A and B are shown apart, each in its own frame.
Chain A
């Protein structure tokens, strides 16, 4: 058994809060030290907002769980100070193969676009992911940043008030009460916070079971994503093989609905299934086995007064498409800068409503894609299976059918079209991919890349356009980043930000999404755009 599962990463320690005569009030408390909770806390602490993370456990999550991390979340992690460690440890892959019965019908290449600092995808076990985030927390603590993780601190009750939240917390020693101005609940799909507050979580249940196994083996399989529909070793069902670091392979086998989960999880039943898939002669060791069912659902609203939900606690999707952890990281990326402006009295509390609007838009997009993948992978009627098999049969022969093959539509960043924070696009002939609401695509600059220069603050990006070096509006500082296509050797800047326009000025949010753009600087227009992007002004 891997040691990482056994060593407490944030062991219980007594907090002075437990002996305080009256409950101590914290600016922000995060429930859950998983990937999303830790990302939220790091984001806050990097900008000196004190944060306490409570977790009922004290170790990394057991088993590989979320393993596929996409470019956009890696860019977010880079802003949080740990993107590069993830990429160095992770396995990069571009090629996916799709098999039907006993033959390959199709293969796809993610064809990552040149000129990005981060790869399209890496595979990395969730336990490493969490470990690197905890390392980052420790590094921030060493710098004196106000961040704390309390292991074995289980929230038993939550009281909500107009301007704060009260938490009753159980520890191995005793229970205590603390308060928070704001509570961020990142406590997963079965969120106890959601349950304690009696909030809804509705959607669609898929009547299917998947066996998920991590095996350690020295195998010749290439670093590719292999997906099988109806293979000889798992008749009528699907299968997935994906490589992780350290010679660990992720295997997913669809089992159907009517099974005995406890029986199926036993090694004497799992091992023959894996041998049938991998070959009798392949030696492997079983590291982790789990059986899961899944649902596609979300909360009706992610914000409930002073309690804000993020990640799986707010929305749940099927695993096809890697849209769980990847979308959760986009939640906190969207939330934290808004929350900090509200806490600093630089923006009205209503700015947080845009978190709901933008991330519900993201969740709905993910649920739609993930539901469609699931319908294709696990057809629930005879005709649905007939059509699915027809697509696969045709895909082998004819190119036209290949885009219909759906073994998971992989996570792509969300564009917040129609967001109330956007100012209408005013860059004529500008590229569609950088319209207001879009996440900024990376661009190689002479000494590095564009995105790190846009991190964590409002930026005025000018390309061959004049503008002041900085301006302040409602106490929010905007600094200029001046670029020129003269220095743009790869033409990526021109292609991604100018299109046919001769020049451009972009207002970019702290989460690297475009708020406004036009051909040239105009003080009144950009001041209004900033007010709008911070919830202070509605579009006329």
Chain B
């Protein structure tokens, strides 16, 4: 079982963040929400491991 990674793990974090913002550029609120939903599902499937996904949901909830 893998642990949820909560320490820095993204190469070139600033570039990723810029990509994320760029993907939302020109989208309406509804389109952005739909994009985010699709992205979450794509990432969740890549992770796959249910225990990691549960830990991720919990980590996001704690800061919500």
Contact = CB atoms under 8 A, between A and B. Distances in A.
A404 B42 CA distance: 12
Contacts of A390: 34, 37-38, 40-41
A282 interface: no
A400 B45 contact: yes
A394 interface: yes
A387 B40 CA distance: 9
B60 to A, nearest CB: 13
A387 B45 contact: no
A386 B29 CA distance: 12
- Looking at chain B's contact residues, is the secondary structure mostly helix, strand, loop, or mixed? helix
B33 interface: yes
A100 to B, nearest CB: 13
Contact of A393 (B30, B38, B40, B45): B38
Interface in B1-47: 30, 33-34, 37-38, 40-42, 45
A391 B44 CA distance: 12
A397 to B, nearest CB: 10
A235 to B, nearest CB: 16
Contacts of B45: 400-401
Is the interface on chain B under 10, 10 to 19, 20 to 34, or 35 or more residues? under 10
Interface string A457-488: 00000000000000000000000000000000
Contact of B34 (A393, A398, A400, A404): A393
Interface residues of A, number: 12
A404 B41 contact: yes
Contacts of B38: 390, 393-394
A400 B41 CA distance: 9
A79 B34 CA distance: 51
Nearest to A403: B45
A283 to B, nearest CB: 40
Contacts, number: 27
A224 interface: no
A349 interface: no
A230 interface: no
A236 to B, nearest CB: 14
A389 B34 contact: yes
A529 to B, nearest CB: 35
Contacts of A391: 41
B20 to A, nearest CB: 16
A387 to B, nearest CB: 5
Contacts of B40: 387, 390
Contacts of A398: 42
A401 B44 CA distance: 10
B61 to A, nearest CB: 14
A401 B41 contact: yes
A127 to B, nearest CB: 43
A342 B34 CA distance: 58
Nearest to B37: A390
A384 to B, nearest CB: 10
Nearest to B46: A400
A420 B9 CA distance: 49
A355 to B, nearest CB: 33
A225 to B, nearest CB: 24
Contact of B42 (A386, A387, A394): A394
Contacts of A400: 42, 45
Contacts of A387: 37, 40-41
Interface in A160-201: none
A386 B34 contact: yes
B41 A386 contact: no
A377 B37 CA distance: 17
Contacts of A386: 30, 33-34, 37
Interface in A367-424: 383, 386-387, 389-391, 393-394, 398, 400-401, 404
Interface of A: 383, 386-387, 389-391, 393-394, 398, 400-401, 404
- 7 closest A-B pairs (Cβ-Cβ)? A390-B37, A400-B45, A390-B38, A386-B37, A387-B37, A386-B33, A390-B41
22 contacts: A383-B33, A386-B33, A386-B34, A386-B37, A387-B37, A387-B40, A387-B41, A389-B34, A390-B34, A390-B38, A390-B40, A391-B41, A393-B34, A393-B38, A394-B38, A394-B41, A394-B42, A398-B42, A400-B42, A400-B45, A401-B45, A404-B41
